[in-house]
Amino acid sequence: MAELYITEEGKKEKEERLEYLKTVRRPDVLEKLKVAREYGDLSENSEYEAARAEQARVETEINTIEETLRLAKIVSAADINNSSVHVGSTVKVLDEEMDEKIEYKIVGTIESDPDRGLISNESPIGKALLGKKKNDRVQVATPSGEKYELKILSIS
């Protein structure tokens, strides 16, 4: 199994989500279960079944976050060396073919969100950038097998 990485910011987000699930969602679901039980026969009680399914989702998410926080290696700002790309680095690249500058933050798979510019260290772009330096050019292979090149403009 690949090592799990999470940035300090990602850890904080996960901890906040965990706190919300435990202090708000879990009690809310327990209240829904209590109310649904009062409707009587549980074998034909759709509200009860829905509340049980919601309870399972909440508990699964709580367990997943707790396990993630237990296993993940925390990448702090102090660990980041800006001379090359690492998990936690923010990298500005130039796609010369498209004449487009793009900024990515390299994160672990558990906090990846490409829509927000957070790309996984295990993604094709993340793998291509890891260990590279400013002004390096990297080849990125897409899942379809096509390749394109990016030039690293800055690392922070």
Q: 124 and 60 in one domain?
A: no
Task: State whether residue 123 is helix, strand or coil.
Answer: coil
Q: What's residue 44's pLDDT? A: 73
Q: 84 and 19 in one domain?
A: no
- The reply to whether the predicted model has a pTM over 0.85 is no
pLDDT tens string, the chain, 156 residues long: the values are: 568 899 999 999 999 999 999 999 999 999 999 988 887 766 777 888 899 999 999 999 999 999 999 999 998 877 778 899 999 999 999 998 889 999 999 999 999 999 999 999 999 999 999 999 999 999 998 888 889 999 999 999
Q: 145 and 128 in one domain?
A: yes
The count of domains in the chain is 2
Q: What's residue 1's pLDDT? A: 57
End-to-end CA distance of the chain: 28
Two tokens, residue 85: 């790309």
Domain of 21: which CATH number? Answer: 1.10.287.180
**What are the distances in angstroms from CA 117 to CA 23, 29, 48, 61, 111?**
30, 34, 40, 24, 11
Q: 151 and 85 in one domain?
A: yes
Two tokens, residue 87: 């998990």
Q: 92 and 29 in one domain?
A: no
**What are the distances in angstroms from CA 55 to CA 60, 103, 106, 154?**
8, 39, 33, 46
